[in-house]
Structure 1
């Protein structure tokens, strides 16, 4: 089934139990979007967010916010400023790992971009430790059993479109420590087949180790369409799948959220009116999941959905490994 048809079916059958925007304090005059998932570190709740002026592009900073009320996040005074887009976090062993996209300019134009990675135990003093491959976003890590680390890649290029039909692929490999995370390892991660159709693209945004030994992936899945005004629209949707590590195959690939699931709001550009760029999920006490997402490249939102990995295992938290 084509992705546009899957989207239509999702919109007819979707179950969204709550839908809100996140409120960010302390950065007046700036948008905060494409955030990490919220996380707890040493007894406090935090979130990293991409901070950028509405009228600017590829001039972003990643800043740290702490929870000050339900769905309210306030800038942590004096926290480190990272010249990164679209932050994400993983907890590996006893360390917090934060990554994001660093854009490099040359002669006032975007030259390339890389994934940068920072780690440490002091959230106010994380250390840079490695860089991903040239022109690759959406590299994600997940701690597995026996100290292993799963690594997801996301190559995207015209060469991939010509060879595979889709604009991007997702790869997966396993390393034994953060010291083994290099651009070469990420670049050579074997591809997961049959994730995207012709001219689609997407990637992994947050990964979760399940007690079944599978990995639950919260990601994005995208395509282009034409709006009522005849202009191109980039459709970004929240998605999920389960990786069977043993067979290297994706199971239960599904849409779990779209822009219409979140409150109305502005878009940074006309082609981003249908954009929900996924952050990830946080489990709730009622068994459902809070799904976080950037919306319109201007804001961030949260919706409550059913657990997307039902039937494939429960998420293993770090202290259970």
Structure 2
């Protein structure tokens, strides 16, 4: 049975709990070819596309926030730019499959409408039978990232949101259900009720990838984050399970931190302790591979214990 948790632990407590129960991990840096002079980070997990193993990644200069999403094909243990694939003016790509279509999204930035010199942003969605036929079909509200959707295989689509500001503070997760992609719009996303009690008011988090588990629960891969006293950011990879029928959930647990990965570059000093959960592949035998953006400059992968196994053993 799932327990309803109204007061999850804060980042510091979650981190202490994780470090006290750390398990064996194997990590490596992902090498990209074809975009020399640019960083590739905040990647998706690999997915099969027309017989190729493909990753979508955020590609940008170290001193810029203006990025492009590009597609890379695995060749000889590296990921090589697919020169014939589309290039999207987005940050932080994500994907899922709904029925016979791939749904790909990312964050679109633009000049802020009210604050001079600042950037606004929103999540936008594309759909198509493959990456070559992607067409933009909807967008999320202004100033909202980390909107994710999942086919529940019962005619419903799960929608996880992340409002900020008056409703969500620094960033909290909301949830709602829709009947089809035609219902995915700004009003529905804004109206999604919050999942209460997950984040302290001074901390934040979001969903990054959704997994349909064999018992009907949703396995949520995401991040939980906080500032330290010097305003450095600390992002940790986390998971929880969610019941879309009664909205019960498990508590958040951290599954990876920056020190689990290999040493590498950082976009800025305040981003050194940042990992952004891109996606997770369950490989069997109780293991999984987590794909992540690291320090806003690189992409790494790490083999860990499958964090969703314990949720699949729950009775619902």
Q: Distance in 1 between matches of 2:155 and 2:74?
A: 30
Deviations 1:50-100 (A, max 9, x none): 0001122x2100001111133x21100122111100000001100000000
Question: Residue 271 of structure 1 aligns with which residue?
Answer: 270
* Residue equivalent to 1:233: 232
Gapped regions of structure 1 (runs ≥ 5): 315-321
2:82 to 76, 94, 97: 76
SS of alignment partner, residue 306 of structure 2: coil
Q: Does 1:281 align with 2:289?
A: no
Return the alpha-carbon distance in structure 2 between the equivalents of residues 3 and 128 of structure 1: 36
- What SS does the aligned partner of 1:160 have? coil
Detail structure 1 runs of 4+ shifted over 3 Å in the superposition: none
Partner of 2:5 in structure 1?
A: none
| Paired residue secondary structure (2:278) | strand
Structure 2 residue aligned with 1:297: 296
Aligned to 1:317: none
Write the distance in 2 (CA, Å) between the matches of 1:69 and 1:207: 29
Instruction: State the partner residue of 1:318.
Output: none
2:163 matched to 1:155?
A: yes
**Structure 2 residue aligned with 1:27:** 35
- State the aligned residue count: 303
- Out of 168, 171, 174, which is 2:174 matched to? 171
Q: Which residue of 1 aligns with 2:139?
A: 131
Map of 1:196 onto structure 2: 199
What's 2:125 paired with? 117
Residue 7 in structure 1 maps to residue 10 in structure 2: no
In structure 2, the partner of 1:310 is 309
Q: Match of 1:97?
A: 103
Contact 2:125 2:139 in 1 (8 A): yes
1:319 aligned partner: none
Query: TM-score, length-normalised on structure 2?
Result: 0.92
Offset of residue 176 of structure 1: 1.3
Shift of 1:110: 3.0
Deviation of the 1:244 alpha carbon = 1.7
Name the counterpart of 1:213.
216
Q: In the alignment, does 2:47 pair up with 1:39?
A: yes
Asked whether the equivalents of residues 61 and 85 of structure 1 are also in contact (C-alpha less than 8 Å), the reply is yes
* In structure 1, distance between residues paired with 2:21 and 2:231: 26
Task: Give, in angstroms, the shift of residue 250 of structure 1.
Answer: 2.2
Highest RCO, 1 vs 2 (Cα 8 Å, sep ≥ 6): 2
Partner of 1:17: 25
Displacement after TM superposition at 1:169 (Å): 1.3
Q: 2-side partners of 1:210 and 1:9: how far apart?
A: 25
What's the secondary structure of 1:184's corresponding residue? helix
Quote how far apart the aligned CAs of 1:177 are: 1.1
Q: Structure 2 CA distance, aligned partners of 1:63 and 1:241?
A: 29
TM-score when normalising by structure 1: 0.90
Find the aligned partners of 1:173 and 1:160 in 2 and give their Cα distance: 16
SS of 1:311's partner is helix
The answer for unaligned runs of 5 or more in structure 2 is 1-8
